[in-house]
Amino acid sequence: MQIKFVNSYNELSRIANENVMQLLEAKPDLLLCAATGNSPTGVYKMLAENYHNTPERFSKMRVIKLDEWGGIEPEEKGSCETYLQEHVLRPLQISGKRYIGFKSNPENPQEECNRISSFLAEEGPIDLCILGLGSNGHLALNEPAEFLQAQCHVTELSPSSLKHKMTSGMKQKPSYGLTLGMADILHSKNILILITGSGKSEMAQQLMRGKINSQLPASFLWLHPNTICLIDRESINL
């Protein structure tokens, strides 16, 4: 993992945006795995500006959702689906044929995970996975645990994840999570992890130690040969 310190959130977003555009130039049908939350929002805003200038560059790009809160309606304001529709899918005009994501209220959550796994088996691997760092070190919704799961799975949400800003305004709180597994993420050709925001300092420091531990799922990124970790020095206070 290559760690790069930047001086501001804007610089973090700019560097990440440049990375996405370089990979998209090389592979027009890039399969982008998109995280949600505050960390990648600046990147997506810059991608939308790029689309406005050169929409043809995005005509073949594909998107897969990283994870989703389970047991809520997809139209819920804090759902990952709502976020991606607002910040990625509509701005970049990604059609339904070029997008796949977990449903937030499937009749059978495990079958929903199997559906995403089947897609990855046929259309993967992911070309670029954009990630954030959870306040407890989780990666996607792979929570700290005695062991981690390799493939898409239903997960029990930790107390800290249930306090995430995305869930704060929900009428009905999520009762579980749906997420890509660690192998799904680590099979990605390229990974960008964006670390920014107050409350991330302790986990960022633990991650930089380079010690791989299932209690810090993000530490497994040290095993990946093409991971870039961008750390916003301004907000992390490092």
Catalytic site residue from 76, 87, 127, 136: 136
- Long-range own/partner contacts, residues 39-42 (CB < 8 A, 24 or more apart): 39/132, 39/133, 39/194, 39/195, 39/196, 39/197, 40/16, 40/130, 40/132, 40/194, 41/87, 42/9, 42/10, 42/12, 42/13, 42/16
Catalytic entry in 17, 67, 76, 81: 67
Selected catalytic residue, list 76, 81, 143, 184 = 143
Would residue 143 show up in a list of annotated catalytic residues for this protein? yes
d(CA 83, CA 87) in angstroms, rounded, equals 6
Distance (Å, whole) CA 128 – CA 99: 14
68 catalytic residue (yes or no): no
Which is the catalytic residue, given 68, 76, 138, 190?
138
Q: Catalytic: 7?
A: no
Q: Measuring CA to CA, which residue among 28, 192, 49 is closest to residue 98?
A: 28
Report, as residue numbers or ranges, the catalytic residues.
Answer: 67, 136, 138, 143
